[in-house]
Chain A
Amino acid sequence: MSIEITQVGKKFGDFTALENINLTIPDGEITALLGPSGSGKTTLLRIIAGLETPDTGTISLFGEDSTWKQTKDRKVGFVFQHYALFKHMSVFENVAFGLRIRPRRLRPDKAEIRRKVFSLLSLVQLESMANRLPGELSGGQKQRVALARALAIEPKVLLLDEPFGALDAKVRQELRRWLRFLHDEIHITSVFVTHDQEEALEVSDNIVILNKGKIEQIGAPEDVYDHPANPFVYGFLGNVNLFHARLDKGVLNLNHAEGGAEVSFFVRPQDVVISLSNENGKGVEAKITGHRILGSRVRVNLKTIAGEKEIEADIDKKQWALIEKENRETIYILFFGAKIYSKDETWSDYAI
C-alpha cells in the first residue's frame, strides 16, 4: 500500500485539527478527502506532503517511515488551490523548475528537460502557452500548468488541495472530468481534498469523509452514498429531509402520539414521491406550501397534515405540471429509499 497513516493527531493551539487518524491510501487510485471546512482534511494532506508535522503518529510512504522526512525528499507532487505558480517564470520554466534544481549528477541534460517539459505540456494541452507568464493564463490553464509542474518530478503520489476551488462552476466541471480522464491514462496514486460532495463522487475511486478531525467513513463513492455510516455522512452527501417520528410495527407515525420506538427519519428530496391518490394506503397526507423551478427540476415544499412536518421534494418538471394542473387541496407523499436511524444508533431501511 502506498500511503499508510497511523494514529496521526495534530493540534493548533487549543484547536484539534486531527485526532487519531488511521488510514491506508490504495495504490494507483484517486482518493478524496471530503469534509466541511475545519474538518482537518487539508491538514492531513499537508502532513502527507511534509508541509506540516503531526504531533502524534506516523506516516509511511511506500513502506518507508517518512514521518520526519523533509518535504523535498518525499517525492510528492502537490497542487495548490491558488495554483502557486512562480509569477516571474514562464510556463516552460515553471514546469522545468523541479528538474533544473536537481543536483548536477541527477539533473537531466537540457535537451532531455525540454523534451520532458513539452511532453507534459502536451498532456495538459498547453504546448502553445510555453512562453507565456502565469499572469497571462486563465484560472483553468494555471491549474493545468500547476499539475504539469507537479508531475515533472515524477512523483510517487499526487496530492491536490482543493484543486478546483478557485475556478468558476463551468471550468470546474470540465477540469474535474479531465482530471479523471488523465488519471485513467497515467494511474498515479492521487489524494485530493474537497468540500464538494459532487466533486468527490464524480472524480474519486475512494472517499474518506472527515468531520471535526475524525474519519466518519471510508468507502467507494456508491458505497458511502447508498450506505452512509451515520447521520452526518448522510446529511453531508446531499440534501436530506430529517425529522423525528415513531415507528409502530413498520408503520410510520408522524404524530407524537404514544406507541412504537422514536426514530430519526431521513429521506432525500429526490426520493420523495408526490401522488394525487393514495392507492396502497401508505401515503402521507400533505399540502403544498410552495415551489421553486430550478431549470429542469422543481423543488416543492410540503407540509404533512398530521404532525405538520416540513418536507422538501425534488421532482421532474413534467410531473410538477400535472400536479399544478389538478390543484388539489391535499396530496399524498410516499418515501422511497428512506433511512431510519434509531436510538441505538443502527440504520435500517424504510420499506413501503
Chain B
Amino acid sequence: MNTPAIIKEPRWIKPALIGAALIFLAVFIFIPLVTIFSQALGSGFRAYSRAFSEPDIFASIRLTLLTALICVPVNTVFGVILAWVITKFNFRGKRILITLIEVPFAISPVIAGLLFIFLFGSFGWFGSWLMAHNIKIVFAAPGIVIATAFVTFPFVARELIPLMEELGKDDEEAALTLGANGLQTFFKITLPNIKWGLLYGVVLTNARAMGEFGAVAVVSGVIRGLTTTMPLYIEILYNEYQFNTAFAVASLLTLLALVTLIVKTVVEHFIAEQRKQKLV
C-alpha cells in the first residue's frame, strides 16, 4: 500500500522509537526483575530455601493470601452490583456515584490508611465502642483486609461500566420479554456477555490486593509475624540488612505477580477473540 507522502515519516523514526522503548523496558523492568531473582538465588539454592525456614515468612504469606482471598470475591460482587446499577438504571446522582468509585484511586494509599485509623483507631469515631466490645480492627488483620478492599475497590466496576454501557440493555430486555426473571437474566445473558471483562477486573484486583503497601503499612502497625503482609515483611527484612531473605520473599511475591500477569494476558487474548467474533 502506498502511503501518501504527507504522512510518511523519515525512515529512521520507526527503529529509533522501537529501540528507545526496548532500552526503557530493559533498564526499568527487565534488569530489576533479573536482579530480584539473581539476588534471591545469589548465595545458592540452599541459602534460598534456608530463608524460607523463618516462621514469620509463612505468617506473612498466609496474611497476604488471606487478604486477597477476602478482598477479591467481595470486590468482585460489589463491583458487578455497582456496574449493574450504574448501567441499567437511571437515577438522580448517578454521575456523583461514578465519581465516588474513583476516590480510592485518586487519593494516596497512605491517606486511605489514615482514614481507617481515624475511624477505627482507639481515638477514632468508633474506637471506644470497638474497645468496649473487644473488637480489634486497626493494627490487626481486619484492618488490613478493610484497607486493601478500599484500595482495590474500583478495579472491577471500572472495567465493567464501559463494557456494559457499550452492550446496552437490549439483551436483558429481550430475556425479560421471553419470561426470564432477574437472576436468570443475569446468569444466562449478562454474565456470558461480560465474563472476560469481569475476569480482567478480578485479575487486576488480585494483583493490587497482594502488592498493596501504603495503606496496609499505616493500618497494620507492622507487628512482626502478626500484621505483616509480604510487601511489609520485605521492607522489614531489608531494613534489618537481611538481604538474602528479603530478596527471597520478594522473588516469591514477584512470582505471584507474574502468574497474575500471565493470567491477564491470556484473558486479554480471549477478550480480543470475542471482539473479533462479534464483528463477523
Residues of A within 8 A of B174 (CB): 78, 80, 84-86, 146, 149
Task: Contact check, B173 vs A135: say whether CB atoms are below 8 A apart.
Answer: no
Task: Contact check, B175 vs A82: say whether CB atoms are below 8 A apart.
Answer: no
Residues of A within 8 A of B132 (CB): none
Residues of B within 8 A of A153 (CB): 178-179
Task: Contact check, B177 vs A76: say whether CB atoms are below 8 A apart.
Answer: yes
* Option from B176, B192, B280 in Cβ contact (under 8 Å) with A71: B176
Contacts of B164-218 to chain A: CB distance below 8 A: 170-171, 173-181, 184, 188-189, 192-193
Nearest residue, chain A, Cβ from B279: A135
* Option from A76, A86, A102 in Cβ contact (under 8 Å) with B189: A86
Task: Contact check, A97 vs B170: say whether CB atoms are below 8 A apart.
Answer: no
Q: Tell me whether A88 is interfacial, beta carbon within 8 Å.
A: yes
In the assembled complex, the Cα of A150 lies from the Cα of B174 at a distance in Å of 9
Task: Contact check, A149 vs B193: say whether CB atoms are below 8 A apart.
Answer: no
Q: Tell me whether A305 is interfacial, beta carbon within 8 Å.
A: no
In the assembled complex, the Cα of A228 lies from the Cα of B25 at a distance in Å of 73
Nearest residue, chain A, Cβ from B177: A78
In the assembled complex, the Cα of A80 lies from the Cα of B174 at a distance in Å of 8
A75: min CB distance to chain B, Å: 8
Residues of B within 8 A of A75 (CB): 179
In the assembled complex, the Cα of A150 lies from the Cα of B175 at a distance in Å of 10
Nearest residue, chain B, Cβ from A97: B178
- Give the interface size bracket for B toward A: 20 to 34
Residues of B within 8 A of A88 (CB): 192-193
* Option from A71, A101, A133, A146 in Cβ contact (under 8 Å) with B188: A101
In the assembled complex, the Cα of A14 lies from the Cα of B188 at a distance in Å of 36
* Option from B175, B177, B180 in Cβ contact (under 8 Å) with A49: B177
In the assembled complex, the Cα of A178 lies from the Cα of B171 at a distance in Å of 25
Q: Tell me whether A349 is interfacial, beta carbon within 8 Å.
A: no
Q: Tell me whether B3 is interfacial, beta carbon within 8 Å.
A: no
Nearest residue, chain B, Cβ from A12: B90
Q: Tell me whether B278 is interfacial, beta carbon within 8 Å.
A: yes
In the assembled complex, the Cα of A98 lies from the Cα of B179 at a distance in Å of 6
Q: Tell me whether B277 is interfacial, beta carbon within 8 Å.
A: yes
Q: Tell me whether A136 is interfacial, beta carbon within 8 Å.
A: yes
Contacts of A132-154 to chain B: CB distance below 8 A: 133, 135-136, 146, 149-150, 152-153
B212: min CB distance to chain A, Å: 35
Contacts of A65-95 to chain B: CB distance below 8 A: 70-78, 80, 82, 84-88
* Option from B179, B188, B192, B279 in Cβ contact (under 8 Å) with A72: B179
Residues of B within 8 A of A49 (CB): 177
How many pairs, one residue from A and one from B, have CB atoms within 8 Å of each other in the complex? 70
Interface size on A, residues (CB 8 A): 31
B172: min CB distance to chain A, Å: 9
Task: Contact check, A97 vs B175: say whether CB atoms are below 8 A apart.
Answer: yes
Residues of A within 8 A of B175 (CB): 86, 97
* Option from B170, B179, B180, B277 in Cβ contact (under 8 Å) with A84: B170
Task: Contact check, A80 vs B170: say whether CB atoms are below 8 A apart.
Answer: yes
Residue from the set B170, B171, B178, B280 with the largest chain A CB neighbour count within 10 Å:
B178
Known: A72-B179, A98-B178, A135-B280. A80 touches B173 (CB 8 A): yes
Known: A82-B170, A136-B280. A72 touches B176 (CB 8 A): yes
Task: Contact check, B173 vs A78: say whether CB atoms are below 8 A apart.
Answer: yes
Q: Scan A32-57; emit 1 where CB is below 8 A from any B CB, else 0.
A: 00000000000000000111000000
Residues of B within 8 A of A77 (CB): 177
* Option from A72, A74, A97, A133 in Cβ contact (under 8 Å) with B277: A133
Q: Scan A323-350; emit 1 where CB is below 8 A from any B CB, else 0.
A: 0000000000000000000000000000
Residue from the set A77, A98, A133, A152 with the largest chain B CB neighbour count within 10 Å:
A98
Contacts of A174-188 to chain B: CB distance below 8 A: none
Residues of A within 8 A of B179 (CB): 72-73, 75, 98, 101-102, 153
Q: Scan A107-139; emit 1 where CB is below 8 A from any B CB, else 0.
A: 000000000000000000000000001011000
Residue from the set A71, A150, A153 with the largest chain B CB neighbour count within 10 Å:
A71
Task: Contact check, A135 vs B189: say whether CB atoms are below 8 A apart.
Answer: no
In the assembled complex, the Cα of A118 lies from the Cα of B11 at a distance in Å of 61
B177: min CB distance to chain A, Å: 4
Task: Contact check, B180 vs A51: say whether CB atoms are below 8 A apart.
Answer: no
Nearest residue, chain A, Cβ from B280: A135
B197: min CB distance to chain A, Å: 14
Contacts of A149-172 to chain B: CB distance below 8 A: 149-150, 152-153
In the assembled complex, the Cα of A318 lies from the Cα of B30 at a distance in Å of 80
Residues of B within 8 A of A101 (CB): 178-180, 184, 188
Residue from the set B179, B184, B189 with the largest chain A CB neighbour count within 10 Å:
B179
Residues of B within 8 A of A78 (CB): 173-174, 177
Q: Scan B138-169; emit 1 where CB is below 8 A from any A CB, else 0.
A: 00000000000000000000000000000000
Residues of A within 8 A of B170 (CB): 80, 82, 84
B184: min CB distance to chain A, Å: 5
Nearest residue, chain B, Cβ from A76: B177
Residues of B within 8 A of A102 (CB): 179
In the assembled complex, the Cα of A72 lies from the Cα of B180 at a distance in Å of 6
In the assembled complex, the Cα of A75 lies from the Cα of B280 at a distance in Å of 33
In the assembled complex, the Cα of A49 lies from the Cα of B176 at a distance in Å of 10
What are 10 A-B residue pairs whose CB atoms fall within 8 Å in the complex? A70-B176, A73-B179, A77-B177, A82-B170, A97-B188, A98-B178, A102-B179, A133-B277, A146-B174, A152-B178
Which residues of A are at the interface with B, using a C-beta cutoff of 8 A?
49-51, 70-78, 80, 82, 84-88, 97-98, 101-102, 133, 135-136, 146, 149-150, 152-153
**Supplied contacts A72-B180, A77-B177, A88-B192, 14 more A-B pairs, CB within 8 Å:** A49-B177, A50-B176, A51-B173, A72-B181, A80-B170, A80-B174, A86-B171, A87-B193, A97-B178, A98-B179, A98-B180, A101-B188, A136-B280, A153-B179
